[in-house]
Amino acid sequence: MKKVVFIGGGASTLCSAVLLKKREPSFEVVIVEKDKKLGKKLSMTGGGKCNIAPLEDNPSVYNALALELIENTFKNISLSQYLSLLKEIGFDTKTIKDYGYYPIHESAPQAVKNLYHQINKLGIKVIYDEFLDYESKNNKVTIKLKEQNIEADYLIIATGGLSKEMRNVFENHNVKVTKTYPGLCPVRLKENVASLFGCRFEATITLFYKKDIVKQCYGEVQFKKDGLSGIPVLNMSSLISRKMIDEDINMNDYQISIGLPEQLHVDILGKTVEEAFLMLFKEEYANYMIEKHDLNKKEIINQSLEKIILNIVQDERFTVESLYDFKDGQVTVGGVSLDEINKDFALKITTNVYVIGEALNVDGICGGYNLRFAIASGFIAVHSLVK
């Protein structure tokens, strides 16, 4: 009987441990989780609904270094195979128009409960303890936890975004890890936007690095006390983090422009400045813009003022001060270097040890791409154990 130990009871482990035990009931499968609960992060996904996959795979939305691994992963387990494997473990999905795949019940906490039920039913053992280190010798792995040591045939590390402790573990085993930064997180701004807290609306959002456009899209922008959020901004934060891994950059060289689409024709000639802004924006944003640009609320708009105002409403610039913390991000950008693993996610340097999911240097944008990769990587590792 083979023994397989998964470290970390998150999304990738919960799905792949269940698949492994279903496919190979003779295997002893163990999950080690340092928290008091399994699947804490999974239960918060997709605004509580769990966006488990996008409508279509798109390798280009992941960090560029991951492209080859992502293409191999999706060739190995296509989206339809992935959804069938989810079905096999009792995770039936449906699409929500324009957004992607979700569990039929549309509840992330329920998805975790259902997986936990499968884990109990299949006799998968859960140990609540912290993983500290491992040693691989003679085709056996000794797994060192805070409270005990366990012997196994295979170790699958699925500890999610790289912590300081896990960085030390990998580095002590000569496994290269990259720098890490928060991804899919809000962005702090240099400007004082406290008066805009809670204000949200749809706009064209453009990320500039120095004078170059890095990314432009249309979507909802949400103001925080000191910054910006909303899906387009979250996606942009990951682009900034990816660049920080490659280069030393000055965060203030990034600007975010918020603007009404150019094609939106608005007739503001002859109106007062205040009337014009209130036609276009919520009151708090209208007031903020008038004040920031030192405009006279009562001034009647003539042709030259019209030009100035249209420029402002189409391209209002904010300077990036910093990114929010890891705890505010949905993913970690960076992780175990991809040249350390084989196509089946086994470490090249040590036999019988695998690394899957977010612990790797793979990050995707919002929309189900991160769970799609994390869980598929676990399925591939499991396939290589039962083949």
CB 219 within 8 A of CB 202: yes
User: Measured between alpha carbons, how far is residue 41 from residues 15, 32, 288, 309, 354 in Å?
Assistant: 14, 16, 36, 44, 21
Minimum distance of ligand FAD from residue 265's CB (angstroms)? 36
43 contributes a contact to ligand FAD by CB under 6 A: no
46 contributes a contact to ligand FAD by CB under 6 A: yes
Instruction: Report the residue from 178, 180, 238, 370 that binds ligand FAD according to the rule CB under 6 A.
Output: 370
6 contributes a contact to ligand FAD by CB under 6 A: no
238 contributes a contact to ligand FAD by CB under 6 A: no
Minimum distance of ligand FAD from residue 54's CB (angstroms)? 8
Instruction: Report the residue from 4, 6, 8, 352 that binds ligand FAD according to the rule CB under 6 A.
Output: 8
66 contributes a contact to ligand FAD by CB under 6 A: no
159 contributes a contact to ligand FAD by CB under 6 A: yes
For the four alpha carbons of 30, 34, 40 and 42, in that order, the dihedral sign comes to: negative
Alpha helices in 293-368 (DSSP H): 303-314
Minimum distance of ligand FAD from residue 59's CB (angstroms)? 15
Alpha helices in 77-150 (DSSP H): 79-88, 108-122
CB 349 within 8 A of CB 198: no
Rounded-to-5 percentages of helix, strand, coil across the chain: 40, 25, 35
Q: What number of CA atoms fall less than 13 Å from residue 383's CA on the CB side?
A: 15
Instruction: Report the residue from 357, 361, 380, 385 that binds ligand FAD according to the rule CB under 6 A.
Output: 357
- For helices 369-386 and 79-88, the axis angle rounded to 10 degrees is 70
Q: By CB under 6 A, which span of 3-11, 74-82, 171-179, 218-226 interacts with ligand FAD?
A: 3-11
x/- map, 310-329, ligand FAD, by CB under 6 A: --------------------
Instruction: Report the residue from 35, 246, 283, 339 that binds ligand FAD according to the rule CB under 6 A.
Output: 35
CB 377 within 8 A of CB 345: yes
Separation of alpha carbons 158 and 345, rounded Å: 11
Instruction: Report the residue from 355, 371, 380, 385 that binds ligand FAD according to the rule CB under 6 A.
Output: 371
Nearer to ligand FAD, 21 or 34 (CB): 34
3-state secondary structure of 338: helix
Q: By CB under 6 A, which span of 160-168, 195-203, 231-239, 295-303 interacts with ligand FAD?
A: 160-168
160 contributes a contact to ligand FAD by CB under 6 A: yes
Separation of alpha carbons 155 and 351, rounded Å: 9
79 contributes a contact to ligand FAD by CB under 6 A: no
Minimum distance of ligand FAD from residue 204's CB (angstroms)? 24
189 contributes a contact to ligand FAD by CB under 6 A: no
List the strands of the sheet with 28-33, edge to edge: 125-128, 28-33, 3-7, 154-157, 353-355
Touching ligand FAD, residues 127-156 (CB under 6 A) = 130-131
3-state secondary structure of 144: strand
63 contributes a contact to ligand FAD by CB under 6 A: no
Minimum distance of ligand FAD from residue 283's CB (angstroms)? 30
Please work out, in degrees rounded to the nearest 5, the angle formed at the alpha carbon of residue 280 by the alpha carbons of 259 and 208: 10
Instruction: Report the residue from 187, 358, 365, 379 that binds ligand FAD according to the rule CB under 6 A.
Output: 358
The count of residues in the chain is: 387
Q: By CB under 6 A, which span of 1-9, 57-65, 133-141, 231-239 interacts with ligand FAD?
A: 1-9
**Residue count, binding to ligand FAD (CB under 6 A):** 35
Nearer to ligand FAD, 130 or 315 (CB): 130
- Nearest-CB residue to ligand FAD? 10
Tokens standing for 136?
């691989």
Tokens standing for 212?
């170059």
Q: Find tokens 């903020």 and name the residue.
A: 288
CB 162 within 8 A of CB 359: yes
Minimum distance of ligand FAD from residue 83's CB (angstroms)? 14
241 contributes a contact to ligand FAD by CB under 6 A: no
User: Measured between alpha carbons, how far is residue 210 from residues 63, 313, 318, 361 in Å?
Assistant: 21, 21, 12, 26
Residues that bind ligand FAD (CB under 6 A): 7-13, 32-35, 40-42, 44-46, 51, 130-131, 158-160, 163, 165-166, 330-331, 357-358, 368-371, 374
